[in-house]
A = this chain, B = another copy of it.
């Protein structure tokens, strides 16, 4: 629909007739706003749909454009004076941004925790934006606040499985917080530890608590010499951020070694807890990892729960990646004990197949998040249903729509299928790698992350005999780094890389590993075979250069 100047004036959108504006700007801008809700002018919606569909239909992981040549296209620091023509802008966007974006939904992009999404999220994204609710408060998100609480309660029940009565009491009780929806797993983890810290160092006997009086005073009041967070050395780097931000310092993040299955060493963890108690250090939280970022390993949650409970310490499970294993009858047992966690992080944008920007933290005790509650006169009233009163974030979008839709449109059985399939496919890839002389499997996959590496031909016999020197290992590392970089650059397929350490002659040796993450339900055996063939082909090119 195009609006004429007369229409616009008739509507009285402009408050002054005489204008200091360059002619035409007013009409152009008002047209941008009045066409919302109606079909866009020049069928922009249809055009963008076509661009989206085209993007999603490409099988390659990326184009092979070099970073250096991309940079040059984004060197304009001046905002255009006048509004650009939308069709021209879309052409620009297509050529410069969309064409060189990563095909995270490609079945051959199996290197990161971002994969294909179900189709219903596309129209819902438009709907969510049209609704433009602000979930911070009831006055800007009425039904959506309750819808969010319902979706979070469903997830809470999946984890904790309390009684009907419990959920009837808390699901829509403004004083209860079963979970908080936020932008991602990092802020979820930080929020969990913030609650834990404030709860351990609360107001008491005239002391205002850490929230009011700060960390130094609070530790002093409670008789602690310092504060720490304890977890596996494979904890996500969001815990570094938490320790830094909360003022305990990264050296207060105690990293316990892991066993060969990438699980925290339980005995060492137990000893660390005792040592902290002896040294009068407050343990803000013990972290269990359900799906390490680098290899998918799941800690022995039940054993950690036991330790935390005995020590009366907050137990947080970072299940950002691995949480959805709970949907699977076959794999749920790997998370056994998660129901004993005081708080749990799960990401919606990882194994729940929802768009980027959905983190969640759940609390065993619906009162725990009171420890971070804030109020403000212009909003966030005490006793209200305003979701922002207990949150790290303020204004935030209605991402709950996606979560609610995912739970309803995929369902328990649908999620179970997705989880089981990913693990089955990973097993296929692991078996395949195991039989191929070109590759070495670096760990038996626990879930759907797989780490392995390419071995140059001259060293394969030594690998079989377990006879590699440190120099050999360095050479293999160089080789694998090179393979991964070339693979990423050429863009046909994608596998990421990480660095593992192994102990050899009492020394820590770094091992560069190729890292597959298989979550895309559209990835076939042929795709997995193609990814491995691509690496072998690249390795042949690398050989001629390095050897």
A194's nearest neighbour on chain B, judged by CB, is B245
> Taking the complex as formed, is A81 at the interface, i.e. its CB lies under 8 A from any CB of chain B?
yes
> Taking the complex as formed, is A215 at the interface, i.e. its CB lies under 8 A from any CB of chain B?
yes
Interface set, chain A 357-402, CB cutoff 8 A to B: 357, 372, 374-380, 385, 392-398, 401
Contact of A96 among B62, B143, B158 (CB under 8 A): B143
Contact B40 A133 (CB under 8 A): no
Q: For the complex, give the distance between the alpha carbons of A389 and B102 in Å.
A: 19
A375's nearest neighbour on chain B, judged by CB, is B237
Number of identical monomers bound together in the oligomeric complex: 2
> Taking the complex as formed, is A437 at the interface, i.e. its CB lies under 8 A from any CB of chain B?
no
Contact of A397 among B33, B211, B355, B412 (CB under 8 A): B355
A14's nearest neighbour on chain B, judged by CB, is B421
Q: For the complex, give the distance between the alpha carbons of A96 and B215 in Å.
A: 45
- Chain A 97-115 interface 0/1 with B at a Cβ cutoff of 8 Å (1 = within): 1111110110000011110
> Taking the complex as formed, is A30 at the interface, i.e. its CB lies under 8 A from any CB of chain B?
yes
Q: For the complex, give the distance between the alpha carbons of A37 and B118 in Å.
A: 10
Contact of A522 among B33, B70, B112 (CB under 8 A): B33
Contact B82 A187 (CB under 8 A): no
* A57 CB to nearest chain B CB (Å): 5
A135's nearest neighbour on chain B, judged by CB, is B356
Known: A187-B393, A248-B247, A385-B67. A86 touches B409 (CB 8 A): yes
> Taking the complex as formed, is A29 at the interface, i.e. its CB lies under 8 A from any CB of chain B?
yes
Contact B142 A102 (CB under 8 A): yes
- Of A164-172, A439-447, A465-473, the stretch lying at the interface with chain B is A164-172
A512's nearest neighbour on chain B, judged by CB, is B377
Q: What class of interface size applies to chain A in its complex with B?
A: 35 or more
Contact A397 B147 (CB under 8 A): no
> Taking the complex as formed, is A36 at the interface, i.e. its CB lies under 8 A from any CB of chain B?
yes
> Taking the complex as formed, is A459 at the interface, i.e. its CB lies under 8 A from any CB of chain B?
no
> Taking the complex as formed, is A541 at the interface, i.e. its CB lies under 8 A from any CB of chain B?
no
Contact of A184 among B396, B409, B414 (CB under 8 A): B396
> Taking the complex as formed, is A525 at the interface, i.e. its CB lies under 8 A from any CB of chain B?
yes
- Chain A 48-71 interface 0/1 with B at a Cβ cutoff of 8 Å (1 = within): 110111011100001001010011
- Chain A 178-210 interface 0/1 with B at a Cβ cutoff of 8 Å (1 = within): 000011111100100010001000000000101
- Chain A 430-460 interface 0/1 with B at a Cβ cutoff of 8 Å (1 = within): 0000000000000000000000000000000
Contact B293 A378 (CB under 8 A): yes
> Taking the complex as formed, is A340 at the interface, i.e. its CB lies under 8 A from any CB of chain B?
no
> Taking the complex as formed, is A130 at the interface, i.e. its CB lies under 8 A from any CB of chain B?
yes
Contact B36 A56 (CB under 8 A): yes
* Residues on the B chain within 8 Å of A190, using CB: 245, 392
Contact A82 B392 (CB under 8 A): no
Contact of A71 among B51, B146, B154, B418 (CB under 8 A): B146
Q: For the complex, give the distance between the alpha carbons of A15 and B526 in Å.
A: 11
Contact of A129 among B53, B121, B153, B424 (CB under 8 A): B121
> Taking the complex as formed, is A499 at the interface, i.e. its CB lies under 8 A from any CB of chain B?
yes
* Residues on the B chain within 8 Å of A36, using CB: 56, 105, 116-119, 122
Q: For the complex, give the distance between the alpha carbons of A365 and B232 in Å.
A: 36
- Chain A 454-495 interface 0/1 with B at a Cβ cutoff of 8 Å (1 = within): 000000000000000000000000000000000010000010
Contact B12 A526 (CB under 8 A): yes
> Taking the complex as formed, is A342 at the interface, i.e. its CB lies under 8 A from any CB of chain B?
no
A241's nearest neighbour on chain B, judged by CB, is B374
A211's nearest neighbour on chain B, judged by CB, is B244
* Residues on the B chain within 8 Å of A248, using CB: 214-215, 247
Interface set, chain A 123-181, CB cutoff 8 A to B: 123-134, 138-144, 146-147, 149-150, 153-158, 164, 167-168, 171-172
Known: A75-B171, A215-B215, A413-B83. A134 touches B112 (CB 8 A): yes
> Taking the complex as formed, is A534 at the interface, i.e. its CB lies under 8 A from any CB of chain B?
no
Known: A40-B123, A98-B131. A216 touches B216 (CB 8 A): yes
Contact B414 A25 (CB under 8 A): yes
Q: For the complex, give the distance between the alpha carbons of A250 and B212 in Å.
A: 5
> Taking the complex as formed, is A73 at the interface, i.e. its CB lies under 8 A from any CB of chain B?
yes
Please indicate which of the listed interface residues A114, A143, A150, A171 has the most CB atoms of chain B within 10 Å of its own CB.
A143
Contact of A102 among B41, B73, B121, B139 (CB under 8 A): B139
Q: A84-B411, A210-B247 are in contact. List 5 more A-B contacts (CB 8 A).
A: A36-B56, A83-B411, A183-B187, A236-B394, A241-B372
Q: Give the top 5 A-B pairs by smallest Cβ distance, nearest first.
A: A247-B247, A37-B56, A214-B249, A215-B247, A48-B123
* A–B complex contacts, Cβ < 8 Å, 24 sampled: A25-B417, A33-B521, A40-B120, A55-B127, A74-B149, A76-B150, A77-B153, A77-B171, A80-B408, A84-B409, A102-B139, A121-B129, A125-B125, A184-B395, A186-B394, A194-B244, A213-B251, A215-B248, A236-B376, A236-B394, A238-B394, A240-B374, A241-B392, A246-B247
